[in-house]
């Protein structure tokens, strides 16, 4: 395999570990824990894994550990650093006992159920150290939630002599990891399950999990590109760039990129929902900023748009819900209608309120809302080109204002969507170190017989040496939520907090950014060089830690 010069140099990078993981490890138990809400229900559902103590690692005596084989699964969307979780896990279990073996299940949780796996040997691991992507074993979105899947999994775990399984995933995958841990514990199968917090979206975080891995690298990658666009924009001074950023639901990525690049405008879905803003309110907000800048002779700017925005606009949320229900029953009838009559058909069949919203949408977006449903029958919001929808509507509003003599500037838009570009980038030093520590921590948790825990590494704005490693019972992060019409125990998803330090810092600066050109150009991720350039964490983490 041909490798780039950076890949070759980067393979030799030795990720930094917290002090407690450098030699023998002592596991210190804290107080018993409670779930964040709905304690009685969660306790009943998880009799074997509820209420376990928090665990903290400290330097201790080197111990001998009995041999154990371990399995690992990558679940859901790619996030930079996944390969380092696996290499930290590999190095950890080999250090504990060189006879230990690591097996990877292929293409996500489906690999466990379908018995598709490979042994991850030292040669294979060495090929993937400090690289981006999940291609070492692949990832997938099969949900592990049914008993027959757990039993199929157990068959192969038993066959391979696997005593512990690590599931690297987001909130849903870690919820499922906990259900699996509970199931195997209840059955006395002797199989431990440990979770690792992954997602570029940054929405798997709480008191004990300061950030999910991949968020740092993905945001730095997007911020580099946004900075480059801002410089282009400030050079030709003739375009407004509408940039949609990944993050299925929460706006953490858009907010972090805004803090790094200081765009003219950044929308935050959680604020849109809290203020009950309509699509027209958002369009008017952007158009007003365009007019104000045009008055200063600046017919250019940048607008950051979180991917999940549409679903946070209350009126759109209602419309999408009614469309989902309606098309679940009438999709064949709808498909049989001539394309040029479909819009009218939908308008005639929706409630007046939703029909009016639907009728106000540009043709293309209205169409997208009735097509491309996922296996659960829901609109795939990520396929909706919000960046084009907004620029088109802003353009129309400005044209109307021009006709009324309220605006005399020029408006020309460019569109971008940054998502996949950042998910497999070579991990930043932060993600390389953090992930390696998470994997190593998982190995220590397993060697000490723990199950139903998530690997946790905290104090992340301090140098890696001072990071605090340990385990958090997954049940501690759970509450009951309605999913597909049923109340289920799930890990609480962390949306952007409007009273949190990152949003407040943004809100305090955004008027200036809109009026003046305050762009910041972060440049590419640096892997070698001064620590203030190479080891910086996200602004989100820095601001959250300043509390």
Footprint of ligand FBP on this chain (CB under 6 A)? Answer: 76-77, 79, 170, 199-201, 246-248, 307, 382, 423
Nearer to ligand FBP, 201 or 431 (CB): 201
Nearer to ligand FBP, 96 or 257 (CB): 257
Please give the structure tokens belonging to residue 528. 């070698």
Per-residue CA distances from 43 to 40, 362, 437 (Å): 5, 49, 30
Q: What is the smallest separation between the CB atom of 78 and ligand FBP, expressed in angstroms?
A: 7
Instruction: Determine which helix (DSSP H) or strand (DSSP E) holds 85, and give its type and residue range.
Output: helix 82-96
Nearest to 164 by CA among 386, 415, 448, 431: 448
Q: What is the smallest separation between the CB atom of 316 and ligand FBP, expressed in angstroms?
A: 17
Nearer to ligand FBP, 200 or 445 (CB): 200
Q: What is the smallest separation between the CB atom of 266 and ligand FBP, expressed in angstroms?
A: 17
Nearer to ligand FBP, 162 or 496 (CB): 496
State yes or no: is 201 an active-site residue.
yes
Q: Which segments of 273-429 are extended strands (E)?
A: 301-306, 413-418
Q: What is the smallest separation between the CB atom of 76 and ligand FBP, expressed in angstroms?
A: 3
How many residues can be counted in the chain? 547
Nearest to 510 by CA among 264, 283, 302, 290: 264
Nearer to ligand FBP, 241 or 252 (CB): 252
Q: What is the smallest separation between the CB atom of 92 and ligand FBP, expressed in angstroms?
A: 23
Three-state SS annotation for 7-47: HHHHHCCCCCCCHHHCCCEEEEEEEECCCCCCHHHHHHHCC
Q: Can you tell me the distance from the alpha carbon of 296 to that of 254, in angstroms, rounded to the nearest whole number?
A: 27
Q: What is the smallest separation between the CB atom of 420 and ligand FBP, expressed in angstroms?
A: 7
Q: What angle do CA 529, 210, 508 make, to 5 degrees?
A: 80
DSSP annotation of 475 = G
Q: Can you tell me the distance from the alpha carbon of 490 to that of 226, in angstroms, rounded to the nearest whole number?
A: 34
Per-residue CA distances from 372 to 34, 153, 228, 320 (Å): 41, 32, 33, 13
Q: What is the smallest separation between the CB atom of 307 and ligand FBP, expressed in angstroms?
A: 6
The residue annotated as part of the active site, out of 91, 171, 172, 201, is 201
Residue 186 neighbours by CB distance under 10 Å: 12
Distance of CA 453 to the CA centre of its chain: 20
Q: Which residues pair with 44 in a beta bridge?
A: none
Nearer to ligand FBP, 423 or 510 (CB): 423
Nearer to ligand FBP, 76 or 489 (CB): 76
Catalytic residues: 201
């Amino acid at each position: 395999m041909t490798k780039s010069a950076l890949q070759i140099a980067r393979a030799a990078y030795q990720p930094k570990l917290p002090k407690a993981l450098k030699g023998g490890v002592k596991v210190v138990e804290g107080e018993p824990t409670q779930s964040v809400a709905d304690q009685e229900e969660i306790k009943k559902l998880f009799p074997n894994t509820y209420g376990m103590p928090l665990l903290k690692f400290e330097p201790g005596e080197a111990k001998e550990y009995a041999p154990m084989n371990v399995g690992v699964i990558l679940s859901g969307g790619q996030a930079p650093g996944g390969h380092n979780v696996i290499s930290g896990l590999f190095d950890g279990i080999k250090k504990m006992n060189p006879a230990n073996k690591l097996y990877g299940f292929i293409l996500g949780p489906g690999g466990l159920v379908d018995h598709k796996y490979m042994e991850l040997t030292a040669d294979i691991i060495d090929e993937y150290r400090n690289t981006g992507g999940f291609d070492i074993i692949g990832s997938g979105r099969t949900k592990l939630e049914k008993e027959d899947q757990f039993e199929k999994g157990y068959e192969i775990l038993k066959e391979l002599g696997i005593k512990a399984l690590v599931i690297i995933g987001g909130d849903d995958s870690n919820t499922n990891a906990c259900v699996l841990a509970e199931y195997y514990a209840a059955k006395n199968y002797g199989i431990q399950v440990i979770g690792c917090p992954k997602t570029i979206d940054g929405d798997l975080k709480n008191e004990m999990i300061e950030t999910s891995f991949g968020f740092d690298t993905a945001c730095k990658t997007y911020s580099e590109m946004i900075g480059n666009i801002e410089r282009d924009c400030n050079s030709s001074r003739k375009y407004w760039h509408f940039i949609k950023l990944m993050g299925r639901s929460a706006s953490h990525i858009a907010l972090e990129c805004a803090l790094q690049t200081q765009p003219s405008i950044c929308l935050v879905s959680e604020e849109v929902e809290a203020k009950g803003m309509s699509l027209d309110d958002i369009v008017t907000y952007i158009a007003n900023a365009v007019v104000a800048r045009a008055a200063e002779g600046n017919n250019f700017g940048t607008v950051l748009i979180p991917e999940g925005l549409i679903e946070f606009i209350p009126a759109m949320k209602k419309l999408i819900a009614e469309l989902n229900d309606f098309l679940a029953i009438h999709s064949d009838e709808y498909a049989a209608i001539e394309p040029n009559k479909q819009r009218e058909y939908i308008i005639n069949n929706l409630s007046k309120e939703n029909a009016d919203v639907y009728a106000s949408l540009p043709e293309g977006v209205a169409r997208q809302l009735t097509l491309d449903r996922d296996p659960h029958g829901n609109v795939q919001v990520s396929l909706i080109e919000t960046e084009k929808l907004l620029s088109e509507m802003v353009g129309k509003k400005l044209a109307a204002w021009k006709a009324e003599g309220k605006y005399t500037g020029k408006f020309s838009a460019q569109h971008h969507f940054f998502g996949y570009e950042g998910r497999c980038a070579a991990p930043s030093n932060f993600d390389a170190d953090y992930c390696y520590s998470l994997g190593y921590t998982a190995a220590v948790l397993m060697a000490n017989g723990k199950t139903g825990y998530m690997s946790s590494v905290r104090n992340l704005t301090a140098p890696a040496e001072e990071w605090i490693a340990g385990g958090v019972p997954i049940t501690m992060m759970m509450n009951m939520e309605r999913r597909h019409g049923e109340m289920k125990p799930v890990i609480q998803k962390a949306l952007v907090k409007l009273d949190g330090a990152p949003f407040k810092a943004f809100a305090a600066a955004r008027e200036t950014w809109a009026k003046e050109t305050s762009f910041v150009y972060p440049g590419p991720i640096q892997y070698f060089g001064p620590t203030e350039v190479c080891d910086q964490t996200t602004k989100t983490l820095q601001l959250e830690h300043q509390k």
